[in-house]
Structure 1
């Protein structure tokens, strides 16, 4: 199964996977250029492997949680490519990508995944690992790090708030990645499990507001 995976819930990333093995990847730490870098990165990944979009068996995309602008860039790109290439499209919660690696590290037991939501808050979810395979227990949610359960925490949120979260060494500066997202999607697809649609998980209301009526000038 050949999968193209995309995620822009934090930094922009893309990956190609063949039968669950990553054969090409792209990632940037810049959180402001998603729309500019993602499409060229996909084109380069396909060209490096000598394949076309029509050769793909599926496209998967991280649906958040994440900021509005960055998340929309990835979703719009994934939807456009799936339509143009006539390829099945699936959504995966972006925190699941960190949980995929965290579960393998933890082996068993419960843990948290937390990423930066700004405003002194984190996007977070709670997981249980069984034999290295993560299962979602609660979330995703957005909230203050001080309100989270006292469990091992993976992700950049744990690095930002070490006084509140029990960060796991080596995993406190981790963003969601397309490579891990693709592995999570492949595992579920081959197990016959359903994935999400591409409805974004913003978790917050937009800061943008429609302007009100203009005030009438008075003499």
Structure 2
């Protein structure tokens, strides 16, 4: 069965939107627009979606599904992509598949690979993979507290450099990786759940009512 899929991710500084054709187990990226700007998720996602659809020559009415990275990632950026994906799904009556954004980076890697992205506060989001399949994480820790034993590292260049491991090419979740991370297209998608892994910085007032 052939599917046209819109793939989105805003869990990292890369604001990613792309259109992928899925034919059974084969996939082809028809278009991908990426803007790397940690402060422009809200401003850049819609233009990137419009650009990718236009370049692919695909109208929204032709889409069969939406895939979105659910993190882990910072609260503000992550919710932009997930809310947009949910809105597309609701408006068009499409299934929306959520995937771990780190899984999308790990797709196609071999051996025991550590994937890391920026969690701020001198910490990293991380997960471990064996031949592209996650077996530990996702979690958030200081780099020194991430379990050792991986053979290579992928993900954020600056944060991968904190580990004394060979660095692999994947840096951000790609359109192809997001789509490839969907385990079962025929299954009913689970509800979208953001992987924040920590509470948001903003906290309610602790003032005591008198």
Shorter-chain TM-score bucket reads 0.7 to 0.9
Q: TM-score of the superposition, structure 2-length normalised?
A: 0.87
Q: What residue in structure 2 maps to residue 13 of structure 1?
A: 16
Q: What residue in structure 1 maps to residue 165 of structure 2?
A: 166
Q: What residue in structure 2 maps to residue 198 of structure 1?
A: 192
* 1:182 Cα offset (Å): 1.8
Change (3 A) 1:212 1:40: same
Q: TM-score of the superposition, structure 1-length normalised?
A: 0.83
- Contact preservation (8 Å) 2:41, 2:77: yes
Q: Structure 2 stretches of 5 or more lacking a match?
A: none
Provide the secondary structure at the position in 1 that maps to 2:36.
coil
| Number of residue equivalences | 201
* 1:17 Cα offset (Å): 0.4
Provide the secondary structure at the position in 2 that maps to 1:51.
coil
Counterpart Cα distance in 1 of 2:56 and 2:96? 21
Instruction: Report runs of 4+ in structure 1 exceeding 6 Å deviation.
Output: none
Q: What residue in structure 2 maps to residue 178 of structure 1?
A: 175
* 1:3 Cα offset (Å): 0.6
Q: Deviations over 1:2-30 (max 9, x none)?
A: 11100000121011001211010010111
Give yes or no for the alignment of 1:213 onto 2:207: yes
Q: Deviations over 1:148-193 (max 9, x none)?
A: 213111111x63353434141545xx122333212322xx335x57
Q: Structure 1 stretches of 5 or more lacking a match?
A: none
Q: What residue in structure 1 maps to residue 153 of structure 2?
A: 153
- Note the 1:1-219 alignment, pairs <5 A: 1-10=3-12, 11-19=14-22, 20-101=27-108, 103=109, 106=110, 109-129=111-131, 134-148=132-146, 149-151=148-150, 152-156=152-156, 159-160=158-159, 162-171=161-170, 174-185=171-182, 188-189=183-184, 196-213=190-207
Q: Deviations over 1:81-106 (max 9, x none)?
A: 111111111100000111014x1xx3
Provide the secondary structure at the position in 2 that maps to 1:118.
coil
Instruction: Write 1 or 2 for the structure with the bigger share of helix.
Output: 1
Q: Root-mean-square deviation (CA), in Å?
A: 2.2
| Structure possessing the higher radius of gyration over alpha carbons | 1
